[in-house]
Amino acid sequence: MSTNVKDKIPSSPSPTPSSSLSSLTPFVHFSKGINGLDKVILRDSRGSSAEVYLYGGHVTSWKNDNGEELLFLSSKAVFKPPKAIRGGIPICFPQFANHGTLDSHGFARNRFWSVEDDPPPFPTNTLNKSFVDLILKPSEEDMKVWPHSFEFRVRVALGPGGGLMLTSRIRNTNSDGKPFSFTFAYHTYFSVSDISEVRVEGLETLDYLDNLQNKERFTEQGDALTFESGVDKIYLHTPTKIAIIDHEKKRTFVLRKDGLPDAVVWNPWDKKAKAMADFGDDEYKHMLCVEAAAIEKAITLKPGEEWKGRLEFSAVPSSYCSGQLDPQRVLQGT
């Protein structure tokens, strides 16, 4: 699927208010989280789980069958609107970072989403019973800063093998006939043992924009990405599969994405970490953001058109040969 795949779909019924929720299915239930914020807990029969806060439509936890946390969430994260939650998977929409006139990363991560009982259908894994559908529509305040009507749906699902899947669908519902454009990212924070022991495979030889050097364009060198200082890069025209290898944990995260041509790699390192009130001074050592995104070329939708961006994560044991992972084995899925 390209970033410009769009379909006309019918209007949907109104979402279910969060206050009416209790237990949705044996695999999905509703709960109160930190500071009383509503959250949805997903579980599968093998023991993996995920937690999604309605504030921000924000995935804050993804655990494997052994109960190990796979996402990074800062110990200083603030669960108090309008502050965005530091860690997990913030959704950046309708603007990534400062690529526009809105506040950094747009407003979707700072809004309360609703659970949608009966969203418009789309193909999905019939074996997948642990999922939740959320929807966001603009408020009057949102329309003042970004004067466009939209419906933003996201499905968060656990796969049969314990993987995590996010599918976003954004539809232009403007009644004035006007198109709109946006940029987007799943700002995923992965939990790693030690940032100095992490490699990222799949971005070799690609062009990138370096946000630490005024968005200047460079070409990546070397066999893989390793980390010895802060990084904030937007890789362009990236493959559909990217691997994050954590040598110490002998674990590899595999990202598979569709409709999201770019990939952001970010770690603040020590000085910036200390400057962030909602981030521990040394926490940069145990996280890495690798973000599936659509940034360089904004997505434009005419009224009635819909864009879809899909992201799937899996965590698998790393395979070694002389201390090195064979990147082609992971990237080719063999």
Catalytic option among 201, 283, 291, 312: 291
Rounded to 5°, the CA angle 279-283-289 comes to: 85
Centroid of chain to Cα 79: 18
Catalytic option among 99, 105, 148, 187: 187
- Whether 291 is catalytic is yes
User: Measured over all CA atoms, what is the biggest interatomic distance in the chain, rounded to whole angstroms?
Assistant: 62
Contact assessment for residue 138 and residue 150, using Cβ atoms and an 8 Å cutoff? yes
DSSP string, 47-66: S-EEEEETBTTEEEEEE-TT
Residue 72: which of 232, 289, 276, 270 has the closest Cα? 289
**What is the signed CA dihedral for 89, 94, 97, 101, rounded to 10 degrees?**
-160
Half-sphere exposure of 248 (CA within 13 A, CB side): 10
Record the tokens describing residue 188, joined without a space: 């995923």
Other beta carbons within 10 Å of 5: 13
Catalytic center residues: 187, 291
